[in-house]
Amino acid sequence: MYTCSACQQKVEGGLVEFKDHTEQHIIDLIKHDHPHWQEADGLCPKCYEYYKAEITGSVFKDATCVIRRRKIDKFIEKVKGVFRK
């Protein structure tokens, strides 16, 4: 049993290993959401499937666009927060 470094849940089983180009995009998204995460930290299968679905199910064509969209969304939320006060 170990604690997934992304979702902080205790899980049984092995770590997910990253192997191909698509998985590099998944790694990029995980690092965007969890800046201190390292590949050696591992990832539970549930988190892996979440990030994989985000890449393959996204209307965006690549991780760079997804990351750009996330940054825009975070910026918009910050601006909205200023006006809510």
DSSP 45-63: HHHHHHHHHHHHS-SSSSH
On whether the CB atoms of residues 55 and 29 are closer than 8 A, the answer is: yes
On whether the CB atoms of residues 52 and 21 are closer than 8 A, the answer is: no
Q: What pLDDT is attached to residue 66? A: 59
On whether the CB atoms of residues 6 and 47 are closer than 8 A, the answer is: yes
pLDDT in tens, 9-42: 787 776 666 666 667 888 888 888 888 998 888 8
Most confidently modeled range among 6-15, 42-51, 76-85: 42-51
Q: pTM value?
A: 0.49
pLDDT at 50 over 70: yes
What range defines the domain where residue 61 resides? 2-84
pLDDT at 67 over 80: no
Q: What pLDDT is attached to residue 47? A: 85
Give the chain's domain count: 1
